Amino acid sequence: MKKETKIIVGVLAGAALGATIALALSSDSTSDLKSKVSDFFADLLDASKDKLAGLADKATSVADKVKDKVAEINA
């Protein structure tokens, strides 16, 4: 689970950095740039919340399976 989390965080951080650099180098005005960066990070936050919710569901599922196996062994 740690490896998957590290990969997701790395991808999201790389995407954020790349988008920020691209927007900074563009010829848009400052207010347009701020709006675009704000929208990008809002979208990124929403996407990361969805990914983390999926990971939490997966972890819960695995924990339930482990509990069932332990109960079978103890029975």
Q: What is the DSSP string of the chain?
A: -HHHHHHHHHHHHHHHHHHHHHHHHS---HHHHHHHHHHHHHHHHHHHHHHHHHHHHHHHHHHHHHHHHHHHHH-
Q: What is the pLDDT of residues 7-25, one digit of tens each?
A: 888 888 888 888 777 777 7
Number of domains composing the chain: 1
Q: What is the pLDDT of residues 43-71, one digit of tens each?
A: 888 888 877 777 878 888 888 898 888 88
Range of the domain at 34: 1-72
Name the band, by pLDDT with cuts 50, 70 and 90, for residue 3.
Answer: confident
Classify residue 31 as exposed, middle or buried by CB count within 10 Å of its CB (0-12, 13-18, 19+).
exposed
φ, ψ of residue 28 to 5 degrees: the values are: -70, 160
